Amino acid sequence: MKISNVLTQAWGLLALVNAPVEARGHSRTEACHPHHPFKPLPSSQPRTRTCHVANHGDGQDDSANVLAALKKCNNGGKVVFDTDKTYTIGKALDMTFLKHVDLEIHGHVQFSNDTDYWQANAFKQIYQNAATFFQLGGEDVNVYGDGVLDGNGQAWYDLYAKDPLILRPILMGVIGLNGGTIGPLKLRYSPQWYHFVANSSDVLFDGIDISGFSSSANTAKNTDGWDLYRSTNVVIQNSVINNGDDCVSFKPNVSDILVQNLHCNGSHGISVGSLGQYPGEVDIVQNVLVYNISMFNASDGARIKVWPGAASALSTDLQGGGGSGLVKNITYDGMTIDNVDYAIEVTQCYGQKNLTLCNEFPSKLVIEDILFKNFKGVTSGKYDPNVGTIVCSSPDVCSNINAKGIEVSSPDGDDGFTCTNVDVSLLDLNCDSS
């Protein structure tokens, strides 16, 4: 598909998802279409007062003003970032105390590019050296508007190229939020992941517009759209994601997740994992529905990635293997792909290039009850004649993996799949299991 057509589709979706947000207080479940969350989402209480965030407007730090407005309008108010104003955030903000409050963002909120400060003071999370500019948490919190959250990522893209061990902040840290709606909202130039959602429940992301690429030769790397961790009953829908890593990633110990109506461009697909990275840890991802996805110019469409049973190294700053756990009841239903390397990729050898070692030390993480259906489109041709791969390290840790209605081919018309250590009778695919 031509880039112009991709952009036309993306902007068409954005026109729908960025329509004005009406008064809060509706049931969040009613806003989820066509599929509903695994569990009903709670309603939001009415907001009865409004506070406007003061700003200096000259690049000075406005973080104290943000905290002052939040404390003043917490418990039943609305905090507004005004139109045509630029707010500079130069301090790490702990906003986990929020309750029954809205953040209505119409201005441009930009985090400072003081990389030394942020490496020392960004909130350290407990997974994969993750760090966040701020922590948004509490109960019944809504964040929306036609404004922008800007991570000022270029300084980080250039710094990471020199030192891959730096701690790059995640643009939006949703930490311990129970009940909330995020979006519509524009997110730009995150230094690393765009969202890290941890220890949260009953959260709806609706109408998120993600984009931000490097203007230098140093690529913006690891810019996942969403990474979910230790969270349940989360919905991600009606969004456009232009990035350079996973569109959405289900990290350890998430359940009851609905992802629907996304336009992903330039990504690594919608991924379960990576899982099994840390020895002694038990990673569980279960009850996930991924529906109606458009995937363009990506390495993968649907992906399940699990570390092997022995230590491996994917890169200088990402190593692991040996953990255990379970991936269960995962459905990918409806995906249109164009210029995607693999339509479907299942691997239990993530991070390990030596397949002999993977077979010698099979994954300790079980994959079962997986369904891929209703895929269509054309791959990039990178792996001709294959358009996908479903490879388990042992038949003892993979069962009931199904595929049907997969109408995907390479530019040359090939439709091969590598299928290893799986029951090929459940795969309506052109499998090569040699």
Which H or E run contains 25?
A: none
CA 79 to centroid of chain Cα atoms: 26
Contacts of 372 (CB under 8 A, 6+ apart): 302, 332, 344, 402, 403, 404, 406
Q: Would you put residue 325 in left (φ > 0), alpha (ψ -120 to 50) or beta? A: left
Cα angle 219, 315, 422; round to 5: 110
Q: Which two tokens stand for residue 66?
A: 């943000």
Please give the structure tokens belonging to residue 305.
Answer: 């990635």
Find the helix or strand (DSSP H, E) in which 408 lies.
strand 398-409
For the question of residue 268 being annotated catalytic, the response is: yes
Half-sphere exposure of 228 (CA within 13 A, CB side): 31
b/e 266-275 (16+ beta carbons within 10 angstroms → b): bbbbbbbbbb
- For residue 169, give the 3-state DSSP assignment: strand
**Nearest to residue 198, comparing CAs of 287, 124, 91?**
124
- Helix then strand then coil, in percent of the chain rounded to 5, is 15, 50, 35
Cα separation, 151 vs 129, whole angstroms: 18
Strand partners, 325: 283, 365
**SS3 at position 356:** helix
Q: What stretches of 230-363 adopt beta strand conformation (E)?
A: 232-242, 248-250, 254-265, 270-275, 282-306, 312-315, 318-320, 324-347
> Which of 108, 195, 263, 268 is the catalytic position?
268
Q: CA-to-CA distance for 383 and 49, rounded, in angstroms?
A: 58
Peptide bond into 216 cis (omega under 30): no
Q: For 74-141, what is the HEC assignment?
A: CCCEEEEECCCCEEEECCCEEEEEEEEEEEEECCEEEECCCHHHHHHHCEECCCCCCEECEEEEEEEE
What residues are labeled active site? 268
